[in-house]
Structure 1
């Protein structure tokens, strides 16, 4: 596999290097990236002031690399592993730093998007369309973001309108396996208001994800986004968001007596609707800021299989208020204090019980930010959650960033605690003769820390960041089986441990050539129920790496890019009929593509995924897609 990675990397660099040789005069000056605010804590801060491990993916990067699913963008982020059940649009799990998928919180335009029933977000339905940026925080974030942010947060912010006119975009794309995509968006505004509306429809005929039969497993996804902002007065602003997703995904069943996947006509339909409404008031020349927000999420899923039809409906409602006050302390010192209250109500209705379950939580949270001599920055927080269905929880967080004077070095570190609440399915789920829920489960608890150094060279032309992380997990919720193979969840005793190293390097001084490389080592082990030797967590590679390179030339009208994704060996669980560990081989994926701006209005683009037709598995028993090609047009007007 090392030879594969070396050859693939050479191909990408040859591609962009050859393009570079064609136009040595282009882009004489290195690209300067503007400072981007990161959602670190209750209040945003600049990147250099954040002590946490973070990554920001801009919408421009997503668009230029022709990424169609957010999960594929996350494959290039250090610390992340992605597992998709076969075809594009299929159930997709994302894990960070060896944690479980439901310990990663996903927020879209201020609305918590994790599934209400399972607590985990299915990235298979998250199309990368009309995104302004994705802010990724790694490590415990429960103090500021609540439960399910035990291992990190993915904060997705869609594009907002512009108050200096209107602009619209249209794009279409066709490709392998009967894939078609069409998208429209418009953004604009006027004095005192702005708006953004977008819609995308994507359909693929798919391929056969099982090793038997010939039935293809496709996916259909329609997503609509809306974002609005109104100035009610010079100091008071109202904003609103709306997001709707309607999708249908074909599935193939897995035989739990042989662990084989076989052709079936199974499918799932889902409907997601989320919205929010917020008010922001500023006073005292911006030193005092108050924010209030209400949001809601409704998710309905229909599942059709050989066992019949089942469905579930989940709802989440949130309300919050916070006030921040900043003041100078003299001699280059700045303080900011924030306090807030949050309320959450969740409901879950499964078809097999015909009963609605609910739970409520109230939270108090406080935050302190300090800036000292414009070089040392600290952030601290404390939170108390009051839950009506399980134990209350207290979490805390502390982080710091230090820009060493007269150097290009920045040190950053963070430490904190996190919790993950039991899911509704774990508490109240019931499948006759198969699964019985446990209403007495405790929340999972965790303590984690990281420390790193960011070093810049050549006037920011090269930036290298190395971070070590360590995190434990207590009260881990696991499934146990009786002699009849009926299962139920329980809290494990002992600790599950995770630690590792994240490395990233970005090069941006080669006259139009930009390159980002990442490497992650993750050691994640779980405590067995019987107190025996620890086992490696499944679907989490010890070694993972990526390389992303792009070159722009011909007056910025032509762009070529290449990606190399290396995923090391992993383990998975197969049931025949009892659970047993099975190996998943390492793999290397290479994607290449390019675009050409015909004029200021029209752009042509194309890409090839899995260029070398790598045969691999991300989940045991499910095939993955071979080499595929796509091409399309984009118009701006």
Structure 2
């Protein structure tokens, strides 16, 4: 384990999302292999960082980043809600290998179902990207790239508290201009009792994962690829209904892509299909079709850019998204949704100044036409400091549950629209950097649920977020990252703070990387969030976590992670206990 590689992977303040190898290009930030304008909005979590942390879940891994927090209904595979700058996962577009995933009924993607062992890296955009991606990208975009880049093979065994067990295997083979990869994963846990109610039981889970694909370099300018990712299993929970306590899930995403890049012309074409299925039922019984929530998403995308000269670039593209929930047991009044969109953009870069403009027009079969735009500019000072500012609009249509679910759906809902202003300043210096980000998002007709859990439109609401991050290399082996977040999310009509969003959080991570040994210590504090809009707050809480890795041989590494070292009792959602002290040990062997 080389400390120079780890330091670069973990602590570099600048994020470049395009790899020099065309077959490995990732295009989350721009949907094209182009340099980003405001890289303070972008985060990449590398495979090295994932292995250093030994994280149990993607949510815990992401929550170490500034501006990100999560809530969870208990254990690692229970329902999880992620927030970016105070905006929840219904407003975050989630991609797996560039393909849209998530439920059309709930409107959210189940990030907790993807095991960290299957992930090569995670690319995050903090901020609205509606002009690029269309609906659901009001808070940002998260792209999860599966284990396709690492050469060779690896097997990993893990065991821990609550009788947790895990096994994963991945391999990657290159023959000529063709690369083939595959990764398999299985883990299970008896869990713990997640809810303070009359039913005393452990809520465990079992999960299987598969990632596989192939990419082929046609020539020095063209690349084609095919990716497939699947997760399935069972998760136990304590819900509000005495009739159901178990969820079975089967989620999968298939995508095919073509990338061309030569002489200033870039073209990215892709097609994909994603399925999100889950069944809720009493664990003593068998699941049936009458308990299915099922979503199928089909996509087509084509986007291209052309460099007029070294300073000017034009972007043009279009896409199509079709969502079908007809397999669901719930009798929704409408069961299909489709949106076609066209987009255009302009980029300018000269010396210390950079500018990006984008506009998009969408046509939705249920709600009509929408227009979105974004603009961002950055200036680099002589001392290396970078000042950036942007403005963007975005929208989100109501989910099928929002509109039609019996008991709390409201078919009079209208789409919500948002307008976001952002600004940042990054000051690098010889041994680190300081970064300040600020964002203000204003919503018209934001969709929320009242105290009776009936969907409604809030006439006007706003979310303000500020984060300050300091990264420092103290020595060649010791580094740290400290961040402070402030979030003010409220209903502007009533003045009530929106539920479940912590108004203040503090995060500190200390990294130690020497030859053959690494350590990561995490200290986190979250101020209590409102249980309901404007309601009583949950108690504040703090956590201490520790991860250690030791390289036994050139090929073998052992690791251990302990979460909640002080065994603090806390809740991120009212009446649902979070895990107490947990530990997980693992052995990785590369060959």
Deviation at 1:355, TM superposition (A): 7.7
Residue aligning to 2:76: 88
Rounded to whole Å, the distance in 2 between the matches of 1:274 and 1:334 is: 37
CA shift in 2, pair 1:462/1:282, >3 Å? closer
- Out of 224, 227, 234, the position equivalent to 1:241 is 227
> Relative to structure 2, which stretch is displaced further, 297-306 or 219-228?
297-306
- Written as runs of structure 1 = structure 2, the 5 A alignment for 1:188-267 is 188-211=173-196, 212-254=198-240, 266-267=245-246
**SS of equivalent residue, structure 1 residue 535:** coil
Residue aligning to 1:43: 32
Deviation at 1:436, TM superposition (A): 3.9
1:371 equivalent to 2:349? Answer yes
Rounded to whole Å, the distance in 1 between the matches of 2:307 and 2:332 is: 51
Kindly indicate whether the alpha-carbon contact (under 8 Å) linking 1:347 and 1:356 is maintained by their aligned counterparts in 2. no
Rounded to whole Å, the distance in 1 between the matches of 2:292 and 2:57 is: 25
Q: In the comparison of the two structures, how many residue pairs are matched?
A: 571
- Written as runs of structure 1 = structure 2, the 5 A alignment for 1:101-116 is 101-116=89-104
1:568 equivalent to 2:527? Answer yes
- Out of 303, 306, 309, the position equivalent to 1:322 is 303
> Relative to structure 2, which stretch is displaced further, 132-141 or 362-371?
132-141
**CA RMSD after TM alignment:** 2.4
Q: TM-score, normalised by structure 1?
A: 0.85
Rounded to whole Å, the distance in 2 between the matches of 1:473 and 1:419 is: 9
Rounded to whole Å, the distance in 2 between the matches of 1:278 and 1:437 is: 38
Flag structure 1 segments of 5+ consecutive residues without an equivalent: 1-25, 256-262, 574-578
1:468 equivalent to 2:438? Answer yes
1:62 equivalent to 2:50? Answer yes
- Out of 408, 417, 421, the position equivalent to 2:384 is 408
Higher relative contact order (CA 8 A, sep 6+): 1
Structure label with greater radius of gyration = 1
- Out of 169, 181, 196, the position equivalent to 1:184 is 169
**SS of equivalent residue, structure 2 residue 135:** coil
> Relative to structure 2, which stretch is displaced further, 72-81 or 151-160?
151-160
Rounded to whole Å, the distance in 2 between the matches of 1:144 and 1:68 is: 32
Residue aligning to 1:98: 86
Kindly indicate whether the alpha-carbon contact (under 8 Å) linking 2:40 and 2:424 is maintained by their aligned counterparts in 1. no
Flag structure 2 segments of 5+ consecutive residues without an equivalent: 19-27
Kindly indicate whether the alpha-carbon contact (under 8 Å) linking 1:463 and 1:505 is maintained by their aligned counterparts in 2. yes
Kindly indicate whether the alpha-carbon contact (under 8 Å) linking 1:35 and 1:46 is maintained by their aligned counterparts in 2. no
Residue aligning to 1:7: none
Residue aligning to 1:504: 469
Kindly indicate whether the alpha-carbon contact (under 8 Å) linking 1:368 and 1:381 is maintained by their aligned counterparts in 2. yes
Rounded to whole Å, the distance in 2 between the matches of 1:418 and 1:305 is: 40
Rounded to whole Å, the distance in 2 between the matches of 1:161 and 1:41 is: 20
1:304 equivalent to 2:281? Answer yes
CA shift in 2, pair 1:191/1:200, >3 Å? same
Residue aligning to 2:67: 79
> Relative to structure 2, which stretch is displaced further, 508-517 or 312-321?
508-517
Rounded to whole Å, the distance in 2 between the matches of 1:133 and 1:222 is: 19
Q: TM-score, normalised by structure 2?
A: 0.91
CA shift in 2, pair 1:514/1:341, >3 Å? same
Rounded to whole Å, the distance in 2 between the matches of 1:632 and 1:234 is: 40
- Out of 480, 491, 496, the position equivalent to 1:535 is 496
**SS of equivalent residue, structure 1 residue 612:** coil
- Out of 621, 624, 629, the position equivalent to 2:583 is 629
- Out of 422, 442, 455, the position equivalent to 1:489 is 455
Deviation at 1:134, TM superposition (A): 1.5
- Out of 530, 540, 549, the position equivalent to 1:586 is 540
Rounded to whole Å, the distance in 1 between the matches of 2:164 and 2:400 is: 36
1:273 equivalent to 2:252? Answer yes
Residue aligning to 2:517: 558
Kindly indicate whether the alpha-carbon contact (under 8 Å) linking 1:151 and 1:418 is maintained by their aligned counterparts in 2. no
Kindly indicate whether the alpha-carbon contact (under 8 Å) linking 1:52 and 1:137 is maintained by their aligned counterparts in 2. no
Rounded to whole Å, the distance in 1 between the matches of 2:586 and 2:373 is: 48
CA shift in 2, pair 1:354/1:634, >3 Å? same
CA shift in 2, pair 1:447/1:501, >3 Å? same
CA shift in 2, pair 1:500/1:273, >3 Å? closer
Residue aligning to 1:4: none
Residue aligning to 1:421: 397
CA shift in 2, pair 1:242/1:150, >3 Å? same
Deviation at 1:401, TM superposition (A): 2.0
Residue aligning to 1:608: 562
**SS of equivalent residue, structure 1 residue 64:** helix
CA deviations on 1:314-342 (whole Å, 9 max, x unpaired) are 111000112211132xxxx5211110011
- Out of 324, 337, 348, the position equivalent to 1:347 is 324
Rounded to whole Å, the distance in 2 between the matches of 1:543 and 1:592 is: 23
- Written as runs of structure 1 = structure 2, the 5 A alignment for 1:326-341 is 326-328=307-309, 333-341=310-318
Kindly indicate whether the alpha-carbon contact (under 8 Å) linking 1:161 and 1:188 is maintained by their aligned counterparts in 2. no
Rounded to whole Å, the distance in 2 between the matches of 1:518 and 1:326 is: 38
Deviation at 1:560, TM superposition (A): 1.7
Rounded to whole Å, the distance in 1 between the matches of 2:456 and 2:398 is: 10
Deviation at 1:356, TM superposition (A): 6.8
CA shift in 2, pair 1:601/1:65, >3 Å? same
Rounded to whole Å, the distance in 1 between the matches of 2:8 and 2:251 is: 39
Rounded to whole Å, the distance in 2 between the matches of 1:56 and 1:31 is: 11
CA deviations on 1:493-540 (whole Å, 9 max, x unpaired) are 2x101113111111124121121111100011024xxx5x31101111
Residue aligning to 1:456: 428
> Relative to structure 2, which stretch is displaced further, 128-137 or 148-157?
128-137
> Relative to structure 2, which stretch is displaced further, 596-605 or 233-242?
233-242
**SS of equivalent residue, structure 1 residue 571:** coil
Deviation at 1:408, TM superposition (A): 2.5
- Out of 128, 136, 144, the position equivalent to 2:116 is 128
Deviation at 1:52, TM superposition (A): 5.4
Deviation at 1:213, TM superposition (A): 4.2
